[in-house]
Structure 1
Amino acid sequence: ELEHFEMHAEEPSYWPIIAYPKAWSPSAKGTGEVIYLQIYGEEDLEQYKGKLKGKFVLIDTIRNVSPPFEAKASRHDVESLFEMATAGQPTPRPRRRNRAGGFNLNKAIWTMLEEEKPIAVLDRSYKGDLGTVFVSGARTAEGRARDSAKVVIPQATLSVEHFNRIHRMTLKGETVKLSMDLKSSYTNEDGMEHNIIAEIPGTDLKDEVVMFGAHIDSWHTGTGATDNGAGSSVMMEVARILLKTIEETGIQPRRTLRLALWTGEEQGLYGSRNYVGDFFADFGDSGYTPQEMKPENENVSAYYNLDNGTGKIRGVYLQGNDAVRPIFREWLDPFEDMGAQTLTLRNTGGTDHLPFDGVGIPGFQFIQDPMAYFSRTHHSNMDNWDHLSGEDLSQAATIIASFVWNTSQRDEKLPRKKSQEEELEEKREAKKASKAFKAVDPAGSWSYEVEIPGMQVTGDMVIAKNGDKFDLTLTSDYAPDEKEVIEGVQIVDNAMKFDYQSEAQGMLIDIKMNLDFSEKSIEGMMTAGTFGSFPVKGKRNSM
């Protein structure tokens, strides 16, 4: 819990600094000089040892800021909705894994920082300007900052303009002194959080369930209005609409209607994933990959989720489940005048429908107008009431209530899709049966891109032959200083599967790659922990 925070520049002149502590940063108070770490290799660490205690440490470079000539908020237009509506099916290990390059260097830097104990480590976000500050979780050399009894260096993210101002002064050799007063406390000593579950009982099909929900936890820099007070309030309004409909019509739901407000979504879908693990699937020791489905799994007709800000609903992400398209098309028809008509086979990730989708339960997130969600409010200090649209949220509640009711009243449960693995294997078998099939030698240099909602990740992959297997080196523009080295990967019928871990926002995320190679191109799927599966495309650069 954040109890108090302030930061000021004291020398060479006074000014108040726009900054926010990172999640799980401990209390700290002090005044000290600023030191910028210019580290390009582990050999550069020595010059800073014994010199950082009682100092503020900068670990980012200057980020250039351009005038925002284009509006930060937007709605879907005809072109963007048409692109989604015409999208095709989403493309859905013996190994040793080594960490190389930037990962080892980052670990060494944070190990040194934890030994040196500066007042605080300061950075700036990769986006945001004009006082908008996007803040993530604190980092550590190993493990996670939120782990029990973990030693964490205080950390704060500054507005890019103030970070740049301080950085430029240090580069000119000026002595810059800052002061900070941070008071925080850990308020969850038993490590438990709680989901909120409510039900409207069904009748003749009461053992079957229609679920709808949103996460109720939020990031700490704002009030969590758009992420995800918006989704939670909509789902509570859905429940009110359903109860009022039952009261006024006297018609009871056939299936049980279950509202879920999830906790721990921001830490990795903890609330929904553990709920699914408790009732619908056995995840085994991994906690992620389902080993066996539980009997209750078959009783869930659908799960509907809302978690992309305040924008009104424009349609539904089908998660590759083409069998529900004609059903949802009929259900959307009455809402044409409200702007909700688009059905896309695309997946979308990063929220609580994924654990359901991952165990075969039809799980859906609605397409929403972007508004200023990713550009201004998502995990930023601007995530406040002022950026909510009441009209849009009312529209969303109306449409979702209709979907939940229709799902409850139909004779059959919603059809389920084939697993991503089944879909990929069917495509591979079709390719193998083709007369044009030809075994490919993947050795060489490739570029790739991963389509993730709100962003595109690009990178390079170098593949070297190692006996009858291959060694891979991956780089990404998301973390340009890091390399992933995966050794001893097999290719079977032009298909290559491998996995590794990647660090993002202070978390280690399990990455699984499932790729198909042709002579000049790659296509396949990347699964990022519980955040979802995303299409991968690429091309050969050289042999």
Structure 2
Amino acid sequence: MQDWNLIDRQLMGNAWIGSRIAETVTELCDEIGVRWAGTPAERAAAEAVARRFDAMALSDTRIEPFPLVSWKCRSASLRLVDSTEPDIDVRPSMFCPSVSVESRVIDAGFGMPATLVQIPEDLLRGSVVLIDGGHEPFSEPLPLHVRLQSLTRRGVEAAIVISSTGGRRTADFSVNDWRDADPYAIPLAVVQTSREDGARLRRQISDGATVTVDVDAQRFDGESWNVMADLTGSKCPDESLVLSAHHDTTTDSYGANDNAAGVAVLLETAQLLVDLQRETGVSPGRTIRFVSFGAEEQVLQGSRAYVAQHHGPEPPPRLMINLDELAAGPMKGVVLQFPEFRPLVQSQLDTIGEGYACHVMSQLDVSGDMFPFSRAGIPTSILWRWRFVGRHPDVAFGHTNADTPDKLRMRELKEYAGHLARLLLRLSHVPPEDWPENQLCVDEIERRIEAERGSVFRTM
């Protein structure tokens, strides 16, 4: 029986005193900077994580390369023809193909079926369509990529998506379905404009506005890197828990919240458990593997490569916990992808005494590095954070160059690290016979994925 009171005081004290979270964020965001997967900067981030693992004397630290399908945009422009006004704000979607088109702009509203049937097919064919990126009020919501596919079937040449946030903001965004066999396929050339310039275009449409859309972009093959290390368990070393984050960013983002915060908490949690072992002799019962993935922003390529390489050859982990955008809000609990472990995880959270809750997502989350694990039938979880209500408003700058360290609340990240260390240590000491049997069926999971296609992920 562990003396959790003594252990918890040690972990939380170390989490608050001597934390290196701010140092890690500074190195990733200010010293290395933008970490688009496959670039020298992303490699530098992977090496920085590996050096920290080595300094902790974790077992089997390694950087694993994997083949990368990447993309770069050399230039993009959006202009009103025969206008002296400035160029329109523009950002191509990630993996957008090259396009050069001049056309009258057709306003398709939110691109919903009831709107599209009112627009003559010959008017849409070969046109540039203006479409709101958000959801139409009061209508059954449709994902943006589904609405864009409808435009593609009608022969639309390119789409201009209006950002739903103000302040002339645009952000790197995806318009493909990451569940697809070819998740890099884009239904048509898609660029985003700011809410303000979207409104300006709408005002011009009634006068027959014509625009030129030019994107010079390229898809190419490259290499990215996953980084991992183990803290070996003292009782069940062949069983494991996985704690993960991703170190890459989108094309121009410094990635403070997304996801230097997650990497910093990953490293800090590992350090807390290593220090506990050194200072008190208390070790995890089963092995804890710490993983930092590359290419999360490029369709989860790092986590997909990791699962393909490690599971089957290795037994699957008991549970995978993924850390992403933690600075969006304080820790509230744990959200599981599958329900089997809910009583077990809740029982361990209860011993922490902070009122944390364990919940289960009603849909398969395809937006983060837990998805390839879930798809392979491995129990996964995330922390109750970015997608859910009540996030901090000043971190709503994801996938832009305004995702900077000044937006982070370091005190909350220290709490994450301390409480994660407490939870992981408890889970590592749960006897094997007390873990529910993993009865997840990959075929059933695939059927569920197919059934959920076309649905909008709930905000909770």
Measured after TM superposition, the shift of residue 208 of structure 1 is 1.7
Shift of 1:304: 1.8
CA distance in 1 between counterparts of 2:133 and 2:370 reads 38
AA at the equivalent of 2:330: K
What is the 5 A alignment of 1:116-155? Answer: 121-125=159-163, 127-137=164-174, 146=184, 154-155=189-190
Q: Secondary structure at the match of 1:235?
A: helix
Residue 253 of structure 2, aligned match among 222, 226, 249: 222
The alignment partner of 2:243 has SS state of strand
Tell me, yes or no, if the aligned pair for 1:138 and 1:145 is still in contact at 8 Å. Answer: no
1:390 corresponds to which of 410, 427, 431: 410
1:314 is aligned, of 332, 342, 355, to: 332
On the 8 A contact 1:62/1:164 being kept in 2, the answer is no
1:353 to 351, 360, 370: 370
**Taking structure 1 as reference, are residues 416 and 128 closer, same or farther at Cα in structure 2, changes over 3 Å only?**
farther
User: Relative to 1, partners in 2 of residues 1:3 and 1:358: Cα closer, same or farther, differing over 3 Å?
Assistant: closer
Amino acid at match of 1:260: V
Q: RMSD between aligned alpha carbons?
A: 4.6
Which 10-residue stretch deviates more, 309-318 or 354-363?
354-363
Match of 1:246 among 266, 272, 277: 277
Distance 2:147 2:175 in 1: 18
CA separation of 1:373 and 1:165: change in aligned 2, threshold 3 A: same
C-alpha distance in structure 2 between counterparts of 1:301 and 1:63, whole Å: 38
> Amino acid of the residue matched to residue 306 of structure 2?
Y
Distance 2:133 2:375 in 1: 40
Q: Paired residue for 1:232?
A: 263
Contact 2:107-2:205 at 8 Å conserved across structures: no
> Which residue does 2:358 correspond to in 1?
343
Aligned partner of 2:196 in structure 1 is 161
Q: Matches of residues 287-436 of structure 1 in structure 2 within 5 Å?
A: 296-297=315-316, 300-310=317-327, 311-318=329-336, 319-320=338-339, 321-325=341-345, 327-333=347-353, 336=354, 341-346=356-361, 349-350=365-366, 351-357=368-374, 361-368=378-385, 370-372=390-392, 376-379=396-399, 382-412=402-432, 415-416=435-436, 419=439
Q: What is the number of residues matched between the two proteins?
A: 363
Q: Secondary structure at the match of 2:263?
A: helix
Aligned to 2:83: 12
Aligned-residue offset at 1:402: 2.0
1:86 corresponding residue in structure 2: none
With the length of structure 2 as denominator, give the TM-score of the two structures.
0.63
| 1:107 is aligned to 2:107 | no
**By how many angstroms is 1:170 displaced?**
1.9
Q: Percent same amino acid at aligned positions?
A: 19
**Residues 325/218 of structure 1: CA separation in 2 closer, same or farther (3 Å cut):** same
Would you say the 8 A contact 1:63–1:160 is kept in 2? no
Contact 2:105 2:211 in 1 (8 A): no
CA distance in 2, matches of 1:534, 1:304: 20
**Structure 1: 5+ residue stretches without partners:** 67-100, 114-119, 282-293, 425-496, 501-509, 513-526, 536-543
Q: Retained in 2: the 8 A contact 1:226–1:373? A: no
Q: Secondary structure at the match of 1:195?
A: strand
Change (3 A) 1:411 1:102: closer
Greater shift, 341-350 or 17-26, is seen at 341-350
| Structure 2: distance between partners of 1:64 and 1:253 | 46
- Alignment partner of 1:303: what SS? strand
In 1, the alpha carbon distance for the partners of 2:233 and 2:149 equals 55
- Aligned-partner Cα distance in 1 for 2:417–2:151: 45
| Greater percentage in helix | 2
Given the superposition, is the C-alpha separation of residues 185 and 161 from structure 1 closer, same or farther in structure 2, using an over 3 Å criterion? same
**Residue 511 of structure 1 is aligned with which of 436, 440, 450?**
450
Secondary structure of the residue aligned to 1:136 is: coil
Partner Cα separation in structure 1 for residue 303 and residue 134 of structure 2: 37
Q: CA deviation at 1:255?
A: 2.5
Post-superposition shift, 1:217?
3.6
Distance in 1, matches of 2:133 and 2:346, equals: 51
Distance 1:359 1:146, change over 3 A: closer
- Structure 2 counterpart of 1:262, one-letter code: F
1:374/1:154 CA distance change after superposition, 3 Å: farther
Alignment of 1:171-320 (within 5 A): 171-173=206-208, 175-176=209-210, 182=215, 184-186=217-219, 188-190=220-222, 193-220=224-251, 222-266=253-297, 268-280=299-311, 296-297=315-316, 300-310=317-327, 311-318=329-336, 319-320=338-339
Give, in angstroms, the shift of residue 313 of structure 1: 0.8
Letter matched to residue 205 of structure 1: C
Q: Give the distance between the partners of 2:302 and 2:309, measured in 1 at CA.
A: 11
> Which runs of structure 2 are paired with 1:40-55 in the superposition (5 Å)?
40=116, 44-47=120-123
Partner of 1:36: 106
Partner of 2:60: none
Structure 2 residue ranges without an equivalent (≥5): 1-71, 109-114, 138-145
8 Å Cα contact 2:131-2:159 kept in structure 1: no
Corresponding letter in the other structure for 2:162: R
Query: Aligned partners of 1:532 and 1:58: how far apart in 2?
Result: 22
**What is the distance in 2 between the residues matched to 1:6 and 1:420?**
48
Q: Deviations over 1:82-105 (max 9, x none)?
A: xxxxxxxxxxxxxxxxxxx97985
1:122: how far off? 2.0
Q: Which string of whole-angstrom CA distances, capped at 9 and with x for unpartnered residues, describes residues 445-501 of structure 1?
A: xxxxxxxxxxxxxxxxxxxxxxxxxxxxxxxxxxxxxxxxxxxxxxxxxxxx9969x
